Amino acid sequence: MSVAKLHAVQDNAAMPTVLAGLEAWFDRRLDEKLAEREANRIPSLAIIATKGTMDMAYPPFILASTAAALGWNASIFFTFYGLELVKKELDIKVSPLGNPAMPMKMPFGPDWLKRINMPVPTLAANLPGFESLATAMMEQTVKAKGVPSIQELRDICVESGVRLVACQMTVDLFNYSQDEFIPEIAEWIGATSYLGEAKNADICLFV
Amino acid sequence: MDSNQTLDARGLNCPLPILRTKKSLNAMASGDTLKVVATDPGSLKDMQAFCAQTGNTLLSSQQSGDDYEFMIRKA
């Protein structure tokens, strides 16, 4: 019988102080137990990585490696173009095409020059080799600013025990073979399995 | 104050100072102190948040010139 029910039955009986004491004890114990559980709980992060460009490769790897450093359980599910991020040979590019918010900045030269944003006309971004140019510039900037490369962040994720899982369906869809991907992929799974994992995560992100 | 180990994280940007700190702490014994020197201004808040969440103690954090110095005791 719940405390509330006890209360109702015994309301005008001779035991109100006992009941009040019991309730106070229960409330206190409940708070203590909940606090204890919260203190011992390991937070978790689940990321669904669906993009294979450099700008979209950073968030999953940065967040997952940092979560692991904090002692959290972190996992990344690579699906669709996100599978590019777990290829053995990383070939990650960035393009201003279809990416209108991307700043185009000089990675070298005096500070005043590096601060200038050079808007790229869509037509120019279509030129052959432009994607490689933009990628090289971004890589330079990243290096100059002491931001880790994608490769470095991925290595740290692997080292620090981030669970990397990948989508089997995408492999079939794009005629990939599993050998093209790093062996650290813990499992090849589908939506059903990953949703089961992500269900209990404190933070779930779709990138 | 003396530390058991020093980590030079100068020139590194988010999240590398934290990731390197974690790696250094992993190899140390409980109660040992680690001195971290960084230049990333974001590391001031990040180091606080890192220690608060991992149970390690941030004994001190100070700025000297362009450097930020942190003293951490491993939990």
Indicate if A115 and A34 belong to the same structural domain.
no
Quick one: B5-73 is in which CATH superfamily? TusA-like domain (3.30.110.40)
Mutation test of the interface with chain B: which of A151, A153, A156, choosing the one with the most B Cβ atoms within 10 A? A156
Q: What is the 3-state secondary structure (H, E, C) of chain A?
A: CCHHHHHHHHCCCCCHHHHHHHHHHHHHHHHHHHHHHHHHCCCEEEEEECCCCHHHHHHHHHHHHHHHHCCCEEEEEECHHHHHHHECCCCCCCCCCCCCCCCCCCCCCCHHHHHCCCCCCHHHHCCCCHHHHHHHHHHHHHHHCCCCCHHHHHHHHHHCCCEEEEEHHHHHHCCCCHHHECCCCCEEECHHHHHHHHCCCCEEEEC
Q: What is this model's ipTM?
A: 0.83
Indicate if A176 and A154 belong to the same structural domain.
yes
Calculate what percentage of chain B has a pLDDT beyond 70.
99
Token duo for residue B4 = 């058991």
Contacts of B36 in chain A (CB under 8 A): none
Indicate if A111 and A187 belong to the same structural domain.
yes
How do the pLDDT tens digits run along chain B, 75 residues long? 678 899 999 999 989 999 999 999 999 999 999 999 999 999 999 999 999 999 999 999 999 899 999 999 999
Q: Is B70 left (phi over 0), alpha (psi -120 to 50) or beta?
A: beta
Closest chain A residue to the Cα of B50, Cα to Cα: A70
A139-189 residue pLDDT tens: 888 888 888 899 999 999 999 999 999 999 999 999 999 999 999 999 999
CB-nearest partner of B15 from A66, A71, A145: A66
Residues 131-190 of A with CB under 8 A from B: 145-148, 156, 160
Name the pTM for this structure.
0.81
Contact A167, A190 (CB under 8 A): yes
The span from the CA of A109 to the CA of A106, in Å, is: 7
Indicate if A167 and A198 belong to the same structural domain.
yes
The span from the CA of A165 to the CA of A103, in Å, is: 32
Indicate if A78 and A122 belong to the same structural domain.
yes
Closest chain A residue to the Cα of B16, Cα to Cα: A148
Indicate if A15 and A98 belong to the same structural domain.
no
Indicate if A14 and A72 belong to the same structural domain.
no
Closest chain A residue to the Cα of B11, Cα to Cα: A146
Identify the band that residue A28 occupies on the pLDDT scale cut at 50, 70 and 90: very high
Contact A165, A196 (CB under 8 A): no
> Do residue B50 and residue A145 have CB atoms under 8 angstroms apart?
no
The answer to whether B59 faces chain A, any CB pair under 8 Å, is: no
Which is nearest to B75 in space by CA: B26, B3, B18? B26
Mutation test of the interface with chain A: which of B10, B19, B67, choosing the one with the most A Cβ atoms within 10 A? B19
C-alpha Rg value of chain A to the nearest Å:
26
Indicate if A161 and A68 belong to the same structural domain.
yes
Identify the band that residue A120 occupies on the pLDDT scale cut at 50, 70 and 90: confident
What's the number of domains chain A is made of?
A: 2
Residue numbers of the domain that contains A27: 3-40
Indicate if A131 and A35 belong to the same structural domain.
no
CB-nearest partner of B19 from A65, A145, A146: A65
Indicate if A26 and A78 belong to the same structural domain.
no
Indicate if A23 and A86 belong to the same structural domain.
no
The span from the CA of A22 to the CA of A5, in Å, is: 13
Mean of pLDDT over chain B: 93
Indicate if A162 and A103 belong to the same structural domain.
yes
